[in-house]
Amino acid sequence: MSGVDVLVVGAGPAGWAAAAACAREELQVRLLAPRPHAPWHQAYGAWVDELSVVAAADVTRQQWDTVRVRTVGPGFRTLPRTYCLIDNELLRASLGTKAATTTVMTGRARSVEGAGDHLCVHTTDGAQLRARAVIDATGHPAAFGAPAPSPPAYQTAYGLVARLSAPPIPTGTMCLMDFDSTPFEEVEPATFLYAMDLGAGRWFVEETALAARPAVPLRTLRQRLEQRLAHRGVRCTEVIAKERCAFAMDAPLPRVGAAVAFGAAAAMVHPATGYQVAEALRRAPALAASLRQALDDHRDPSDIARAAHRAVWPAEALRQDTLYRLGLEVLLGLDAPATRAFFDGFFALPLDDWRGYVSRTSSTLALQRTMLRLIRRVPQHLRRRVLRIAMSPGALRTLSGVVAPTRLTR
């Protein structure tokens, strides 16, 4: 089969975002996946201001100006920032329109190897696909990535789209985090309710474990969701859909290889929040521009891959990721009461501080200032615990990436 400029492997949001961005650079693009047009079933949320690369109104199902969190005590805090639920069909259609020149193929990639001035991807059905560059957007674990040296921390969640006998949260609102633990006999590990009023009598309710190593089992989250709703006098009258999620929060950063990792395959899941879709949309144009330039310069496939890898993970992004991974290690070391106190302090920070942290818009220096402000804000007993975790040998090794980020991706 004749070669193309770029072969994208994977048909999730990251894969289609990469294909659309490359098509916009007028590159010849082929997309390969076992089910390239399969619907995306997961509920993808985002802050509206994170969707600057696309028109938020064109790809969102619903937006909420009232966003609530509950951390310590019975009271809620209202966050002055608009949240949205991405409409997967609209996002898919938007990216598909931008990637209209892309050739879509059904198949499963097995391996990739150099073939002179091209790369060759072998599929499980024996096909050989040639391209000057290959993007691995297959998620975690990546199709062409090396196995993780140790099990990562996972965010797990169990949720329902359902009709309920009574509102679980105030109508017209969404709840980003409700750490109320009173419905549970056991408070460990910390889990929270993530809920949205979808309108027309429909609700999305999800019990989430932000990060744990090993992962909190989905059956535990299902039981807690049932207990939480029962405690509020709410029963499910109709289940419209179920959601089961597991995201690797600290997958190893990709090393430069024949294929360029992107999306979750490139460890782009936020190590402290679990979000990734908006970030994939934001980084895709830089990836495509680097490929366009490298191809115009007639570089060989290894040079093309290195240039694209640097576009996905520039040094500043690597430094920031190091700080986020340090934040994850802190969260993993906290028990449930300390976790609630930690987030109480976090959302009490100025808007620009916590917004920059969760949306990756802060510089490395600004992230360091935010983390120091948070340490000063939390209660003294928690401050000592956070500092003890942050100064542990493992955390210090992680922190060395702020000084020498290139060591992470040789």
Among 197, 214, 248, residue at a domain's last position = 248
Phi and psi angles of residue 217, each rounded to the nearest 5 degrees, phi first: -60, 145
Residue 214 pLDDT > 70, yes or no?
A: yes
Average pLDDT over the chain reads 92
- Residue 129 and residue 174 share a domain: no
Among 272, 298, 313, residue at a domain's last position = 313
Q: Is residue 67 part of a domain?
A: no
Tens digit of each residue's pLDDT (9 = 90 or more) over 44-77:
999 999 998 777 778 999 999 999 999 998 999 9
Give the list of residues 6+ apart from residue 182 with CB closer than 8 angstroms, or none: 231
- Residue 287 and residue 237 share a domain: no
- Residue 211 and residue 357 share a domain: no
- Residue 283 and residue 143 share a domain: yes
Q: Do the beta carbons of residue 402 and residue 326 sit within 8 Å?
A: no
Range of the domain at 274: 4-61+85-148+251-313
- Residue 277 and residue 241 share a domain: no
Query: For residue 396, what pLDDT is reported?
Result: 65
Q: Is residue 75 part of a domain?
A: no
| Tally of domains within the chain | 3
Tell me whether residue 41 is exposed, middle or buried, using C-beta atoms within 10 angstroms of its C-beta: 0 to 12, 13 to 18, 19 or more. Answer: exposed
Tens digit of each residue's pLDDT (9 = 90 or more) over 334-375:
999 999 999 999 999 999 999 999 999 999 999 999 999 999
- Residue 357 and residue 293 share a domain: no
- Residue 125 and residue 160 share a domain: no
Q: Is residue 73 part of a domain?
A: no
Of 82, 84, 93, 110, nearest in space to 40 by CA: 93
Q: Domain holding 10: CATH number?
A: 3.50.50.60
Chain centroid to CA 227: 28
Owner of token pair 């818009």: 361
Q: How far is CA 345 from CA 253, 275, 353, in A?
A: 29, 21, 12
What span, in angstroms and rounded, lies between the C-alpha atoms of 263 and 9?
Answer: 11
Q: What is the pTM of this model?
A: 0.92
- Residue 380 and residue 349 share a domain: yes
Give the list of residues 6+ apart from residue 85 with CB closer than 8 angstroms, or none: 43, 44, 45, 60, 61, 62, 63, 196, 198, 204
- Residue 288 and residue 194 share a domain: no
